[in-house]
Amino acid sequence: MEPQYLGELAEALVTRGLLFRKRYGAFPATVEIFPTDHPSVGSGVYVKAGVGGVPWFISVIGGPLRPCHDPVGAGEAVTELMGELMGAFDELPRVRRGPLPSLYAALRRRAPQIAAARPDGGGLLHVSYRGQEAQVAWDDDLEQYAWRRGGSGQIGSDAEKAAELIAWALGARTGPAASG
């Protein structure tokens, strides 16, 4: 039954923009979870019997998540844990690569549950979360980020603040504070 539960969790994680690797041959059987742009940084989840023998999803870094009959709720809990884990990247020095790559990196740190495609050659950053899609560009004239599709209003010029505003506009929680 463990692989079945873990498979259901993996399906819930795909909708949250996280990648997974099934490790059913490991003991215990595990699903490794990581953000798309940091495959070396992640966590794992396995199944363990809880009170009364009810199976639970257990995070290797955060303990019990949710009962196995709630893979969507467990996916939310994993996303929050990954936000905390990626929040540690805030302490790392930033490399200047241009406005859109900086925004992409900030989104991966601040809201890893948002699916974000690396900026394309046309100068657009494509983002989505729970069926909502948007495109963001850098406006050279105004020297700030601007919505091209899916949002309205000003975004600003700071990549970290822009990432939080984009996450908010798409309905996603951000950073370590999102788990509280």
pLDDT digits (tens, 9 = 90+) for 146-157: 998 887 777 989
What global pTM score does this model have? 0.47
Mean pLDDT of 43-67: 88
Which pLDDT does position 91 carry in this prediction? 54
Which pLDDT does position 102 carry in this prediction? 86
DSSP 122-149: TSEEEEEETTEEEEEEEETTTTEEEEEE
Percent of the chain having pLDDT more than 70? 83
Which tokens belong to 50? 């809880």
